[in-house]
Chains A and B, each alone.
Chain A
Amino acid sequence: MNSFWIATIGTSVIAFALKYTGHSVPEKFFAHPKVQAINALIPIALLSALVAVQSFTDKSKLIIDHRLAGLGAALLALILKAPFPVVVISAAIASAAAYKLL
């Protein structure tokens, strides 16, 4: 079994376990405001880190390439309050164009 299968199955099992556990524990268990605060902050940190790593790294090297154009387009689309599909598609178009030109 390769790492892609392990990741697929492992992620799925834990994702469901987390959802089901939530439905089975008493409500007050997670009512603490610090737990709520951390719960809101973790996605911000992880998603931001993923944006950076997926845009500016190649294996373990830092690199600036055509993907910068894609990220710039996505950022612009978000500032202009574009809906999610427009954000992704404009990033893809800008990145593909930069890849062809560079």
Chain B
Amino acid sequence: MDVFFQTVVAGFLKGGLYALIGIGMTLIMGVMGIINLAHGQLMMLAMYVTFVLNTMGVDPYISLFVAMPVLFLIGVIIQKVLLNPLIKVETILPENQVLMTVGIGMVITEVARFAFKSDYKYVKTAYSDATFFFGGVSFSMALTIAFAIALAFTAAMFWFLLKTDLGRSIRATAQDKDAATLMGVNTGRITVITFGLGAALVAAAGSLLAPVYYIFPDLGGPFTAKAFIITILGGLGSTVGAILGGVTLGLAESLGATYLGMEYEDIVGLAIFVAVLLFLPGGFKRLTKI
């Protein structure tokens, strides 16, 4: 039974970080209607920012506040220079913005490989391996702090989306772009800010993950896959769904790794993905309605 609780706790803590990744993805999905297939790569970039600052002796939780603005800026540039011009371009395929994000992801990965080489990098901190016990279940110190910060960011995000003017504009654009434009919302600017926000959120996840994970250029792909599984699980464009989806994926991976074997960790996510498509197309959004 202890093993079970241990697994659930580990999965839950990981799920908090996944939720952060998923919210960024789902915001972009909701406002622009595209899947950002460079999402994991942006996270990888944030992890390298954390790594570089760490070699200068900056704590990962402080470099969080550097990585987020940097990635926000990168997100803004990507959206402004590369994605927004595509809306005006006449093409046959509606998905060419998605294809563009694939290209951007490839470029980011290769640039990182040039700058940092392919080998694994570690961000070593005093609390990387530290644990504490609570009722016979061990909690990883770094993951628990990461979970708390992720929770705070999620709450702040909700406050921002629900209470501020900008947040309301973002939600309006997601609901109906044309109507929002007619109400005087500068939707072009909103898409730019949203992509920046999505990138900043995933950057937060990257910085939080850096002390407990290893960093290498190809890390982006698997995390992009996780991000879109979370988004599908939660329902495209649903923020609450992304949180539920993130926690579900974290739990499922953790349980799969314990009871089926480590190599099944990734398969579990994909199995859930297929099950959702079959039995609950539309994801958790269908149940929560938001």
Q: Are A and B part of the same complex?
A: no
